[in-house]
Structure 1
Amino acid sequence: MLRVFCKTMLLTKSIDSTSGNAFFLRTISSTESTLGTLGSIDQKNLTISYLMNSCGFPFKVATSVAQKICIETTERPDSVIELLQTYGFTNTHIGSLIRKYPRVLLADPIKTLKPKIDFFQSLGFSKSDLAKFLISDNVLLRSLQRQIIPTLNYLKTFIHTNENLISTLKQSTRLVGYSVKRIWEPNIATLRSYHVPDSNISKMIISFPEPLTLSVLRFKHIAAMVNKMGFDPNSRSFPAAIYSVAGVSKQNWERKREVFRSLGWSDDEFLVAFKVQPMVMLTSEKKLVKLMNFFVSNLHLKPSEVAKYPNLFLLSLERRIIPRCSLLQVLMSKGLIENNLHIVCALNDNKKRFEKRFVTRYEGAAPEVIKAYKGEMRFLGLGS
């Protein structure tokens, strides 16, 4: 009894000196229930002490994590940390993993963890990417044979290569956790019912797979909605539209429709814009209003004209639109380009094409275009 009590007090002192926090033990009688209480306190203190000393957690974090696990001996947690370090996990990686999924510390490092890490490493993950992937979801606690391998093998029937698989997993780390039979197969069957070709299904899995993990009924509803809007199932815009609709709640969808109406778009113009660029609905309301005001007030475009080029709402006003407009303003003021230039096309040009057309071509005649292009000149509006 005395030995247990002293051990508890030593751990309490260790925690107290590290964190500046104190534990207060109640006077305990020598009954059987008391021994159980002491044992529980002893293990809790050991858990907190270990999380602080071996994982670098502050006292408050260690206390919170200790509510989810109970470390009885340090042998296994030490082995887990040592294993992760051999695979290139930094202390930051290990701390993040344990904070999110504390039970990893109690897993068998050889039978449970190592086979999964080896499997993902065999796919071609770099050390840093592997660590980031494994701490982003509780993959290490999932069954390798029953969940991980069957799911990834199924996805590879569409995306074929490990390179594509890694690209998919890096952008959507939770994919491994969804059932092939209950989620993946039914949702892909829905796409096929609309005659979406496998090539487009493959692109959807690689580019924006999240909607494919929705509940079957929810996914069917979204696919039907997109089909009713008139999207061609053979086009790449069909899965893009599904992604966009899935990413906006019904309430936010209606609110953004109202924003576009308030900006001067008819319902038909909205539908045309959405079909041209489905991702426009993922733009925040604040950005939609800010950009439309700029296009109308500074570029003198009509809302109906902007509706034909909804890709403009995906661009950055500060980093792309204003610097390009400032550059074009310089060239127009010097008579180097016509004032009736199709400004929207210039804004939509990719970086290489825009610089070839307007920067390298004119920087000799108008050196200030470089300053304007870097965003160092105030844009006063076209025609100003």
Structure 2
Amino acid sequence: MTAVLRKDSVGILLRNSSNLCKSRVPFSTSFHHLYSISTEKKPKINPAVYDFLFQQHNFSPEAAAEAASVITRLRNREKSDSLFSFLEKNDFSSSHLEKIVKYKPSFISIDLEKSVKPKIKIFQELGLSNSDIADLFAGNASVFYRSTDKRVIPALSKLRGLLGSNASVVNLLMKSGRFLIRDLDKTMVPNIEFLRSRGVPMEQIITSMHCFSRFLLHKPEHVRRSAGKAEGLGARRGSRMYIHAVRVVASMSDEVWELKLQAFRSLGFADADIFNAFSKYPQAFAVSVRKMREVADVLVSTGKYDVVSVVAYPLCLASSIEMRFRPRLQVLAALEDRMLITKWPSLPTLCKLSDVIFFERYVEPYMDEVGHLFLAKGLISC
């Protein structure tokens, strides 16, 4: 049997796929019915707020009831209606508004002219589409409560200066709006200066902004303390791994860090191994204790890899079991059973190979012999 497969879909071909389905339970939309569905004690719900959200602005009964149990009164229905209508015209869906009101119930009475319109206009001029603006604010409702002139505009100016273009700023903000909420002069700016003083290139810092925004927004004293701890564990200033080492330490409390070290020891790591692993692969220390043990169990159960292999390449602990290890291990076991391979790849190779290269090396040459097996197991599809 011969199969022609597109390489850009190999990642899908090598993994099982599943559909996550959501279902809605039928319910009455009657406000009074909301009270009769349970005999448990119910919070007091403001009928006017509930009616405004559910009847006029298409909130779900549950979201409207939750908000109406927190919002004690609707101060000015006309102003609130103007606010919601304006946002709806700018592509804010009911789910966007539900999320904002759930996080900030007081939003229902926020000043449209002073607090909302200026910010929407700024982001439209920056180049964001209305739907992107809605997504941004739904995930970062606190931005509405930050001063446009004292916080939002200066933050955008600093980000543009660092990243070089509006497009890059937009790209960053769509990943994390936290840069608009925190005071960058008290967090990001001193943290960048500190990291540069430790030999971290700006390119790495900008990558970290995109991938790990919380790190640069920590209090500077926390980042400095974490750097000292990382250096004590073997992180070297100026090395490519330095920023990762500091970030990983900064992400954990002292108690969690100790639990992590105990977990490494329980897997067979000596203290010297831990120091060596941390200096080379600090990202492995960001993995949860539970996942560390599950990965080690999966690998050792094959009989092809042992604890020594894991200790030698601890970055394997950061790889996905379902998306990387399990499908690849099934492929290799099937090939070995049919004597189509005599040697399994090393653990680093197993982890590092892209889906495309793994497919080309271990699947494509044997499609005629075992393609039906892979199809049956759902590892690939026609």
Shared fold by TM > 0.5?
A: yes
**TM bucket normalised to smaller:** 0.7 to 0.9
- Distance change in 2, residues 1:371/1:342 (3 Å): farther
From 297, 300, 303, give the equivalent of 1:296.
Answer: 300
* Alignment partners' CA distance in 1, 2:189 and 2:65: 44
Q: Which residue of 1 aligns with 2:212?
A: 208
Following superposition, the deviation at residue 231 of structure 1 comes to 2.8
* Alignment partners' CA distance in 2, 1:113 and 1:342: 56
* 1:279-312 Cα deviation digits (max 9, x unpaired): 2222221211121122223234232321232232
* 1:56-105 Cα deviation digits (max 9, x unpaired): 354641333314xx423211101101110111111111122122223333
Q: Which residue of 1 aligns with 2:202?
A: 198
Is the contact made by 1:326 and 1:373 (CA closer than 8 Å) also made in structure 2? no
Q: How does 1:82-97 map to 2 (within 5 A)?
A: 82-97=85-100
Is the contact made by 1:231 and 1:237 (CA closer than 8 Å) also made in structure 2? yes
Which SS does the other structure have where 1:119 is aligned?
helix
Q: Which residue of 2 aligns with 1:282?
A: 286
Q: Which residue of 2 aligns with 1:77?
A: 80
Which SS does the other structure have where 1:366 is aligned?
helix
- Distance change in 2, residues 1:169/1:232 (3 Å): farther
Is the contact made by 1:184 and 1:213 (CA closer than 8 Å) also made in structure 2? yes
From 89, 108, 111, give the equivalent of 1:108.
Answer: 111
Q: Which residue of 2 aligns with 1:326?
A: 330
Are 2:67 and 1:62 equivalent residues in the alignment? yes
* Alignment partners' CA distance in 2, 1:193 and 1:72: 52
Q: How does 1:130-169 map to 2 (within 5 A)?
A: 130-137=133-140, 138-169=142-173
Q: Which residue of 2 aligns with 1:24?
A: none
* Alignment partners' CA distance in 2, 1:49 and 1:306: 59
Q: Which residue of 2 aligns with 1:34?
A: none
From 230, 236, 239, give the equivalent of 2:234.
Answer: 230
Following superposition, the deviation at residue 375 of structure 1 comes to 4.7
* Alignment partners' CA distance in 2, 1:60 and 1:48: 6
Following superposition, the deviation at residue 266 of structure 1 comes to 0.8
Q: Which residue of 2 aligns with 1:5?
A: none
Following superposition, the deviation at residue 368 of structure 1 comes to 4.1
Aligned-residue CA RMSD in angstroms?
Answer: 2.6
Is the contact made by 1:296 and 1:302 (CA closer than 8 Å) also made in structure 2? yes
Q: Which residue of 2 aligns with 1:348?
A: 352
Count of matched residue pairs: 339
TM-score (norm 2): 0.80
TM-score (norm 1): 0.79
- Distance change in 2, residues 1:46/1:229 (3 Å): same
**Structure 2 stretches of 5 or more lacking a match?**
1-29, 37-43
Is the contact made by 1:124 and 1:163 (CA closer than 8 Å) also made in structure 2? yes
Is the contact made by 1:52 and 1:62 (CA closer than 8 Å) also made in structure 2? no
Is the contact made by 2:309 and 2:347 (CA closer than 8 Å) also made in structure 1? no
Is the contact made by 2:300 and 2:307 (CA closer than 8 Å) also made in structure 1? yes
Letter aligned with residue 368 of structure 2: G
- Distance change in 2, residues 1:340/1:18 (3 Å): closer
Following superposition, the deviation at residue 343 of structure 1 comes to 4.8
Q: Which residue of 2 aligns with 1:305?
A: 309
Is the contact made by 1:291 and 1:313 (CA closer than 8 Å) also made in structure 2? yes
Letter aligned with residue 63 of structure 1: A
Q: Identity of aligned pairs, percent?
A: 26
Q: Which has the higher contact order (CA 8 A, sep 6+)?
A: 2
- Distance change in 2, residues 1:371/1:76 (3 Å): same
Letter aligned with residue 152 of structure 2: I
**Structure 1 stretches of 5 or more lacking a match?**
1-14, 22-40, 377-384
Letter aligned with residue 311 of structure 2: A
* 1:245-293 Cα deviation digits (max 9, x unpaired): 1222211111121111111111121222233332222222121112112
* Alignment partners' CA distance in 1, 2:198 and 2:159: 20
* Alignment partners' CA distance in 1, 2:341 and 2:279: 33
Is the contact made by 1:296 and 1:303 (CA closer than 8 Å) also made in structure 2? yes
* 1:326-353 Cα deviation digits (max 9, x unpaired): 2112222333222354354134311111
- Distance change in 2, residues 1:343/1:198 (3 Å): closer
Is the contact made by 1:323 and 1:374 (CA closer than 8 Å) also made in structure 2? no
Letter aligned with residue 333 of structure 2: Q
Of residues 119-128 and 75-84 in structure 1, the stretch that sits farther from structure 2 once superposed is 119-128
